[in-house]
Structure 1
Amino acid sequence: MNVKNTGGGTAEDVTIELMPEYPFTLDSSSNARQNKGCIGTDSSALYEYRLFVAADAKPGTHEITIRYQDDEGTTWSEKDFEIKVGTDTLDSRGTLKLEAIKTDPEVLIPGDDGTVTITLTNTASQYSVTINGKDYDTNAQLKEVELMGSDAIVVTTGSYRNMGVLGPEDSIEISYNVRVSDDAADGTEHLNLALTGSSHTYNAKWNIPIRVESSGIKIIPSKPLKLACDGDKIEFDVANTHSSTFTSVSIEPRAEGITFTPAEYFIGTMEPDELFTIEFDCEVTGNSSDDAELHLYAEYRNGNNQHERVINNRVIEIEPVVPEGNSSTVMIGAALLLVVVVGTGIHYRKRRKN
């Protein structure tokens, strides 16, 4: 039994007592009570008992009572657990191996839904085996297969029961739907896959690693964000910084007083670390003397999960252009200035000569 402290403080002196009734008995009544001492917050302790089942026990589900106290002298609490008893145990010698783990999408983003597919294989290579002069078949029974979640990942698919047997070298794929919490941290979450086989000897547990990353699409200007007031082009590098392949990637720029063509740039599929360079034609329709705040909207899919990212910390600098009418005025002004300068020089020389 795994006992976990889910309270807000340390349980100082934890004692567990198994209280079996027919059809269950302990190997010794003196082993019924076990003390593991203190258990810290969110910590666990493992308690093991050797339990026997009466030979005339009826097949079906039976209950066993466990009581516990978190400190000596405090009130005992009780909880009942179900234990299955049956006569359908197969005397087989097939052994199951965890052959493969596949996650779709390969790396999940916080808030994502995904699918974990497990492949189990019977490692036997022949249909029977002789042990101590007795022949056994090498089928492997699957009574129950369950995937258990973690603090950051919830498994939304229940356990699979009574799945039959696998012959030598046969395989089976089992899929579970999972959901990542919105506040999951980057890293690897570890789920537990529990197999109930033909007997306790053939039960198994495996660790199922699931990767979580919050990174996504990154957009970088590939040249300065400057526009003439009569329009120009802007260019961006778009990179997939996530470890999964993204699909349906599109970029939409928005800025007040500027019209972009195309209005939205569709990239499509982007592999991890892949980079695309995209370009927009720009027409300035607002006040040409004002810079414009640029908002970039990136949409993409990770598996079946739709994501959107908004980048707001960009500014487009709009360079003013001198109007055509001002050029002649400037030239006339320059000519008048030249006349004034020349006239002043002649007058100055005349005064020196006099």
Structure 2
Amino acid sequence: MIKIMLGMHKIRILATAAALLTVCSLLLLAAMTTAIYPAAAAAAAATTARGPGVMITGYTVEPAVFMPGDTGTITLTIKNMDPQALVTETVIETPSGFRQTTDKTVRSISAEIETIRLSGIRGVVEWLEKGTRLDRHINIGALGPGESIQVSLPVKVAAHARDGTYFPEIVIDVDNGVDVRFPIRVDVESSEVILHEEDIPAEIPRFGSREIAIVIANNRPNSVSGVNVFVESKTGELEFEPVARFIGKLEPFEKKIVNFTVIPISEGTHEISFKVEYRNALNLHHSWLVSSVVVKEGSRSRSSVRLILVDAPDYVLSGDVARIDFDVANGLVRDIRAVTIVPEKEGVKILPSEYFIGDMEAGDLFSASFNLHTHDLIVGEIAIPFRLIFKDAETERRFELPDHIVHVEIREPAENALPVLVPVIIVLLFIVTLIAAAVLRGKMKRKPGR
């Protein structure tokens, strides 16, 4: 029994010795490691500092909505989100087991941005190449703690791109931190600014002018700028005042009415071509509208300026004065001025030599009278042309209507016809005398027989 107890005691002593030996070995190893690699040990014990945090805090896309084939820009706001200073805790453990803790304030690390690139959608939204094959911004540089920078990326939308919303990604390669991938919304819409007729008559008079109107409608969900409207006649048989109008900016789905004055040059059916020019951001676009009008003789139309003959004698005796009356009607929708009627017959005395009416408002009716003096005219029919002249009050363009011809017959006066009747009267009196003599002679012959 005593031997057994002595054996167990020896075992406990050996176990304790082995444990002490293990502890000493570990302490010796730690001391050796600390002595050989003090910097590594301190770094391992210290709190690990993280890299700089870069974020895209905002972006804009111009134009707001692309049209197929457009180019534009994506402008990014990139910020280093690290604060200005950072407090770190350092723990150092000595071989003897002593732990020492210190606080140290250090500056944050600047973000070293290597590249910014667009991970586009092939065939839809891609980087815009302008004489270079680069598809990224390189060597952007360092971005300090809390600092931000704006960077613009040129992009293009394919001409065959379908309408819709796309999300190309912006990739920022940070040399000393975590890379950034950020989706950007790009909208594509093919709707256009269009033209349609507001007031274009089927017929217009040959003489005078007429106002026409068209509507410019922005059917897009974003505004457009630099809007200009042009009008022309391919054949040159119509003139316009003005030939172009500037509208400027059209808001989304806004429309405006634009007026032009058309001035016919000749009769017939003539084509009118309208063109609207506008910009979606810096991208120039066009739309067209083709219409036509029929130009007819102005004197046959109530929507023109007309010279109307009111009264003129069918004939007048030579030496008398004939009165000729006219009405002038302004059937246009605009004022006219310097309205004048001029007789065009040379060698004939007509007073006044011209009749000046002056200004006429739209819808006005004025009268004018002329006196035809016939004492120097030969017997027979005479044709007298009267011409109406006026100016458009807005364009100052001068118009002359075709001559209005008035026919008057000049006859001999009644007293000049008496010498022609004298022989007839003498003959008639002679015949009456013969008849009366015959009757009287017959009566005288019957008396003796009684």
TM-score range, shorter chain: 0.5 to 0.7
Instruction: Identify the residue that residue 147 of structure 1 maps to in structure 2.
Output: 118
Deviation at 1:193, TM superposition (A): 0.9
Asked if structure 2 preserves the Cα contact closer than 8 Å seen for 1:300 and 1:307, the reply is: yes
Asked if structure 2 preserves the Cα contact closer than 8 Å seen for 1:100 and 1:120, the reply is: yes
| Whole-angstrom distance in 2 between the partners of 1:282 and 1:327 | 28
Distance change in 2, residues 1:203/1:234 (3 Å): same
Query: Which of the residues 265, 268, 271 maps onto 1:293?
Result: 271
Deviation at 1:285, TM superposition (A): 1.5
The alignment-based identity, stated in percent, is 24
User: Higher helix share goes to which structure?
Assistant: 2
Query: Which of the residues 198, 201, 204 maps onto 1:228?
Result: 204
Secondary structure at the aligned position of 1:222 is classed as strand
What amino acid sits opposite 2:178 in the alignment? Y
What amino acid sits opposite 1:266 in the alignment? F
Asked if structure 1 preserves the Cα contact closer than 8 Å seen for 2:85 and 2:105, the reply is: no
Instruction: Identify the residue that residue 245 of structure 2 maps to in structure 1.
Output: 265
Gap runs ≥5 in structure 2 = 1-47, 92-103, 301-305, 315-450
Deviation at 1:245, TM superposition (A): 3.2
Deviations 1:134-178 (A, max 9, x none): 977254332222112212122035322343332333111111111
Secondary structure at the aligned position of 2:162 is classed as coil
TM-score, structure 1 as length reference: 0.58
Query: Which of the residues 147, 161, 177 maps onto 2:138?
Result: 161
Distance change in 2, residues 1:317/1:125 (3 Å): farther
Deviation at 1:298, TM superposition (A): 1.1
Instruction: Identify the residue that residue 403 of structure 2 maps to in structure 1.
Output: none
Asked if structure 2 preserves the Cα contact closer than 8 Å seen for 1:92 and 1:138, the reply is: no
Deviation at 1:300, TM superposition (A): 1.5
Deviation at 1:281, TM superposition (A): 0.6
| Whole-angstrom distance in 1 between the partners of 2:201 and 2:190 | 28
Deviation at 1:282, TM superposition (A): 0.8
Deviation at 1:216, TM superposition (A): 2.3
| Whole-angstrom distance in 1 between the partners of 2:254 and 2:194 | 11
Asked if structure 2 preserves the Cα contact closer than 8 Å seen for 1:300 and 1:306, the reply is: yes
Deviation at 1:194, TM superposition (A): 1.1
Instruction: Identify the residue that residue 178 of structure 2 maps to in structure 1.
Output: 202
Instruction: Identify the residue that residue 344 of structure 2 maps to in structure 1.
Output: none
| Whole-angstrom distance in 2 between the partners of 1:131 and 1:234 | 82
The equivalences for 1:305-324 within 5 A come to 305-312=283-290, 314-316=291-293, 318=295, 321-323=298-300
| Whole-angstrom distance in 1 between the partners of 2:242 and 2:89 | 74
What amino acid sits opposite 1:220 in the alignment? H
Distance change in 2, residues 1:138/1:243 (3 Å): farther
Q: Does 1:218 align with 2:194?
A: yes
TM-score, structure 2 as length reference: 0.47
| Whole-angstrom distance in 1 between the partners of 2:261 and 2:202 | 12
| Whole-angstrom distance in 1 between the partners of 2:165 and 2:242 | 40
Deviation at 1:297, TM superposition (A): 1.0
Gap runs ≥5 in structure 1 = 1-89, 333-354
- State which structure, 1 or 2, has the greater radius of gyration over its C-alpha atoms: 2
- Number of equivalent positions: 237
Q: Does 1:180 align with 2:157?
A: yes
CA RMSD of aligned residues (A): 3.2
Deviations 1:82-118 (A, max 9, x none): xxxxxxxx96433222112212222222222212111
Secondary structure at the aligned position of 2:167 is classed as strand
The equivalences for 1:131-142 within 5 A come to 137=108, 139-142=110-113
